């Protein structure tokens, strides 16, 4: 009888989790959607160009929030069903970081924050999923920007033989020790004053684990945080041949 009781309890807990998830999602989707619908309706009856411009800005902002949320939900369901796939291809790590840095340099400067991108190797090509890696850096950097009022943000990597550490460091509000593990759980937010759903880090963790790596955080309250992802990497070399420009050979 106790086995049946335990199984029943487990099923109830799963049901409860799912219900909470759906309730959360419905609420989170409704908020930006209401803003988009509301401002769109207002625009129809507003003639003033300046006010319209402001409304367009709000609509754009909420479009972005909604799009990110929907993408995150899709990723979350992929994680849940174990179908998050990784497409490995030859990746120029320096170019990838520079790419991301260009965008965040602008965003950081808008907030009067310093931004630096640290690529210690003159050249580094690895086999990885560059889209997922970009998503990971974007998640880290979005948080760093969100939780840093002054100082600096650093994006970079380190290479130790066959391990690469990707990091984002900030001089922001930091994370209390009691919450440092919980922030990787879905929907968990340590600081509820900023915009967010608490999904970014749980997706980031799944990405890092999918790439056989480990995610970690080091932080001091009031001083800042550093998020790291450590991966095993195999260096690769770009090969140029008359027929194919972008296939690879390995160098150990
Ligand atoms: P969110 O969309 O809420 O930022 P995340 O999963 O990315 O979701 O982060 C979860 C929580 O972890 C955040 O709500 C915040 O409290 C904390 N956090 C994440 N990154 C940082 C950071 N760089 N500095 C301070 N707190 C952070």
pLDDT of residue 227: 98
Poorest-pLDDT segment among 9-23, 45-59, 76-90: 9-23
Contacts (Cβ under 8 Å, ≥6 apart) of 210: 84, 86, 132
Nearest CA to ligand 1 atom 19: 143
**Position 250 confidence tier, pLDDT thresholds 50, 70, 90:** very low
Per residue, the 3-state secondary structure of 83-149, as one string, reads: CCCCCCEEEEHHHHHHHHHHHHHHHHHHCCCEEEEECCCCCCEEEECHHHHHHHHHHHHHHHHHCCC
Query: Is the CB–ligand 1 distance for residue 184 below 6 Å?
Result: no
Nearest CA to ligand 1 atom 23: 144
pLDDT of residue 243: 52
Query: Is the CB–ligand 1 distance for residue 200 below 6 Å?
Result: yes
* Per-residue pLDDT reduced to its tens digit, 9-21: 988 877 877 777 7
Query: Is the CB–ligand 1 distance for residue 189 below 6 Å?
Result: yes
Q: Is the pLDDT of residue 26 over 90?
A: no
pLDDT of residue 249: 45
Contacts (Cβ under 8 Å, ≥6 apart) of 124: 92, 93, 94, 157, 159, 235
Q: Among 2-6, 19-23, 24-28, 134-138, name the most confident range.
A: 134-138
Enter the tokens of residue 168.
């984002």
243 vs 63, residue with greater confidence: 63
- C-alpha 88/C-alpha 130 separation (Å) is 7
Phi, psi of 150 (to 5 degrees): -150, 160
* Per-residue pLDDT reduced to its tens digit, 153-182: 999 999 999 999 999 999 999 999 999 999
- Number of residues assigned to the chain: 252
Q: Is the pLDDT of residue 133 over 90?
A: yes
CB 139 within 8 A of CB 85: no
- C-alpha 192/C-alpha 248 separation (Å) is 46
* Residue to substitute in 64, 172, 197, 201 for testing ligand 1 pocket (most ligand atoms within 8 angstroms of CB): 201
Query: Is the CB–ligand 1 distance for residue 127 below 6 Å?
Result: no
Determine how many CB atoms are found less than 10 A away from the CB of residue 25: 16
SS3 category, 174:
coil
Rounded distance from Cα 158 to ligand 1 centre (Å): 23
Reported pTM: 0.83
The helix or strand, by DSSP H or E, that contains position 209, with its residue range, turns out to be: helix 200-210
């Amino acid at each position: 009888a106790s086995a049946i009781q335990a199984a029943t309890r487990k099923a109830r807990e799963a049901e409860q989790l799912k219900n909470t998830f759906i309730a959360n999602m419905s609420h989170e989707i409704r908020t930006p959607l209401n803003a988009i619908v509301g401002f769109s309706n207002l625009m129809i009856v507003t003639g003033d160009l300046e006010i319209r411009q402001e409304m367009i800005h709000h609509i754009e902002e909420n479009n972005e929030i909604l799009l990110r949320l929907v993408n995150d939900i899709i990723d979350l369901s992929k994680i849940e069903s174990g179908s998050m796939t990784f497409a490995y291809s030859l990746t120029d790590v320096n170019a990838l970081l520079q790419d991301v840095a260009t965008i965040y340099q602008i965003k950081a400067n808008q907030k009067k924050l310093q931004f630096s991108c640290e690529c210690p190797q003159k050249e580094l090509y690895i086999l990885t999923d560059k889209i997922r890696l970009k998503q990971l850096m974007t998640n880290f950097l979005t948080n760093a920007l969100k939780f840093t009022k002054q100082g600096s943000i650093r994006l970079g990597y380190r290479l130790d033989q066959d391990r690469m550490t990707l990091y984002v460091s900030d001089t922001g509000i930091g994370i209390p020790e009691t919450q440092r593990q919980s922030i990787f759980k879905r929907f968990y937010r340590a600081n509820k004053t900023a915009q967010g759903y608490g999904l970014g880090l749980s997706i980031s963790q799944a990405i890092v684990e999918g790439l056989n790596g480990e995610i970690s955080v080091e932080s001091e309250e009031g001083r800042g945080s550093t998020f790291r992802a450590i991966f095993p990497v195999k260096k690769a070399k770009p090969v140029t041949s008359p027929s194919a420009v972008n296939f690879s050979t390995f160098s150990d």
